[in-house]
Amino acid sequence: MLALVVAAILGASAPSAVVAIGVSGIPYFARLAANLAGSVLHRDYVETARLLGVPPLAVLRRHVLPNIAEPILVLTASTFAASLTAISALSFVGLGVQSPAYDYGKLLNEALPSLLAGRAYQVVGPAALIVLAGVAAMLLGDGLAARADPRRPAPRRAAPVRPTELHAPGDALLHAENVVVSRADGVALVKGVSFSIGRGEMLGIVGESGSGKSLTALTVARLLPDGLEASARRLTLGDKDLLRRQPPAAMARAIALVYQDPGTTFNPALRMGAQLGQVLRAHFGRSRSQADAAVRGALEAVRVSDAPRRMRQRPHEWSGGMRQRAMLSSALTVTPELIIADEPTTALDVTVQREILRELRRVSIENGCALLFISHDIAVVRALCHRVLVMKDGEIVEELPAAHLDHEHARHPYTRSLLEANPAFDVARPEVSA
């Protein structure tokens, strides 16, 4: 409406149409740009630059613009496409381009009598050109925005990977050979990892943060984040080739996941009971009452008190530890072939931790499912698992039985350093007088 008013005041011409569209787009564009810049201006690095005496224009050029360039370029491209449509609309109603000049809107206006005469094909060309020009502008904006992203890594060749050949049990359920996970620029984050897990076996992976433990597990589950690519010589779970696309229902039946962060797992708008029973209803054909009964039993198994009432609550009404127990209970409601547990006992007290580890062991033994257990807690891994893989910088540096995860049997220096970093509480405590 603002563009129509401005165009009517300035008169029917191409310049007035451009001015009208530009003026009408200023408030939206300025508001978004100001909000983006405002969010960056409060960052610590901007405050540090100000304290160091960096001039305001330099702060704008070095710190603000590079961090808002990506959304601004996308917005510019979308605004251009919208402005093209709006200018064409003004020309179509006679307030834009005037004869003998023409644009897409003017062509549509002149083709209108043909449309009324039954020759609709004459309006197809101008209409298609408007759409194609708008789409091309938006794609160009997306490409420029991707190039302007300061977090985009510089292209470089991938480092050579060295396959790690490990012992494979004869009745292995999961086979992973020469698994490589790389960034878009070719840098390998997981470098030729090979391992296997037998039915009913519990395999632990230990290593410091950033060693590739979680990426290895997400590769098995085919849930790698955007921007990462995985390849392998072989990646199979039973008769399923995980290098090929698998139906979601088949993956839901085969693999159960227990994530590390319980705060981002559940939808805050839905009740816990409905979320925990969703897999049972969607992929196992259970009724609502059957799913609720299974969820209630799984929650009680992980020591969630008053399960029926808790199921009617939403995630924000649960503590972090309770949400973590809920994640584990969702894995226990089905009978998967493989359970992937990534730090499942984080934020739990020792008593609940013991109960959950006992439940994981029971499910693995009774159902014959394999367990891939990732943890920083070496004592927990030693007590729960059969074998342990030690990862460092995306590679498996040592494999040993869990019972031999100690200074006496560890061979690799990195494994020994992990054991030395593990806190020990065997010091004598001072006597406390009554």
Residue 314, SS3? Answer: coil
Residue 432 pLDDT class (50, 70, 90 cuts): very low
CA atoms of 72 and 157, how far apart (whole Å): 31
Among the residue ranges 200-214, 307-321, 410-424, the one predicted with the least confidence is: 410-424
Measured in whole angstroms, the distance separating CA 230 from the mean position of its chain's CA atoms is 15
Residue 232, SS3? Answer: coil
* Amino acid 161: pLDDT: 40
- State whether the Cα torsion 46-48-51-53 is positive or negative: negative
Q: Which residue shows structure tokens 């209108």?
A: 112
* pLDDT, tens digit, 9 for 90 and up, residues 163-185: 344 444 456 889 999 999 998 88
User: In the predicted model, is pLDDT for residue 137 greater than 70?
Assistant: yes
* Amino acid 309: pLDDT: 93
Which DSSP category does 402 fall into? Answer: G
More confident residue, 220 or 119: 220
Measured in whole angstroms, the distance separating CA 381 from the mean position of its chain's CA atoms is 27
Residue 433 pLDDT class (50, 70, 90 cuts): very low
CA atoms of 271 and 269, how far apart (whole Å): 7
Tokens of 28: 């939206």
User: In the predicted model, is pLDDT for residue 427 greater than 50?
Assistant: no
**How large is the average pLDDT for residues 416-427?**
71
* Amino acid 383: pLDDT: 87
CA atoms of 249 and 140, how far apart (whole Å): 38
**How large is the average pLDDT for residues 261-271?**
76
Among the residue ranges 12-16, 300-304, 361-365, 386-390, the one predicted with the least confidence is: 12-16
CA atoms of 31 and 399, how far apart (whole Å): 57
CA atoms of 201 and 171, how far apart (whole Å): 10
Q: Which helix (H) or strand (E) holds 255?
A: strand 255-258
User: In the predicted model, is pLDDT for residue 118 greater than 90?
Assistant: no
Residue 150 pLDDT class (50, 70, 90 cuts): low
Average pLDDT along the chain: 80
CA atoms of 372 and 338, how far apart (whole Å): 7
- 383-401 exposure pattern, b = at least 16 Cβ within 10 A, e = fewer: ebbbbbbbbbebbbbbebe
Tokens of 388: 């342990």
CA atoms of 253 and 255, how far apart (whole Å): 6
User: In the predicted model, is pLDDT for residue 373 greater than 90?
Assistant: yes
User: In the predicted model, is pLDDT for residue 428 greater than 70?
Assistant: no
* Amino acid 349: pLDDT: 73
Residue type, 197: I
User: In the predicted model, is pLDDT for residue 388 greater than 90?
Assistant: yes
How far apart, in Å, are the Cα atoms of 120 and each of 91, 105, 108, 123? Answer: 19, 16, 11, 6
Q: What fold is seen in the domain 172-421? A: Rossmann fold (3.40.50)
Tokens of 55: 């001039």
Rg of the chain in Å (alpha carbons):
30
User: In the predicted model, is pLDDT for residue 347 greater than 80?
Assistant: no
**How large is the average pLDDT for residues 340-354?**
77
Residue 95 pLDDT class (50, 70, 90 cuts): low
Q: Which residue shows structure tokens 């990732």?
A: 374
User: In the predicted model, is pLDDT for residue 52 greater than 80?
Assistant: no
Which DSSP category does 264 fall into? Answer: G
Residue 8 pLDDT class (50, 70, 90 cuts): low
User: In the predicted model, is pLDDT for residue 298 greater than 90?
Assistant: no
Residue 159 pLDDT class (50, 70, 90 cuts): very low
Residue 396, SS3? Answer: strand
- State whether the Cα torsion 251-255-261-266 is positive or negative: positive
Domain residue ranges in the chain: 2-148, 172-421
User: In the predicted model, is pLDDT for residue 160 greater than 90?
Assistant: no
Name the pTM for this structure. 0.63
Among the residue ranges 132-146, 164-178, 371-385, the one predicted with the least confidence is: 164-178
Residue 434, SS3? Answer: coil
**How large is the average pLDDT for residues 355-369?**
81
DSSP string covering 51-72: HTT--HHHHIIIIIHHHHHHHH
* pLDDT, tens digit, 9 for 90 and up, residues 226-244: 788 899 999 999 888 888 8
* Amino acid 387: pLDDT: 93
* Amino acid 256: pLDDT: 87
Among the residue ranges 106-115, 269-278, 281-290, the one predicted with the least confidence is: 106-115
**How large is the average pLDDT for residues 286-314?**
89
Angle CA(259)–CA(260)–CA(266) in degrees, nearest 5?
Answer: 55
User: In the predicted model, is pLDDT for residue 219 greater than 80?
Assistant: yes
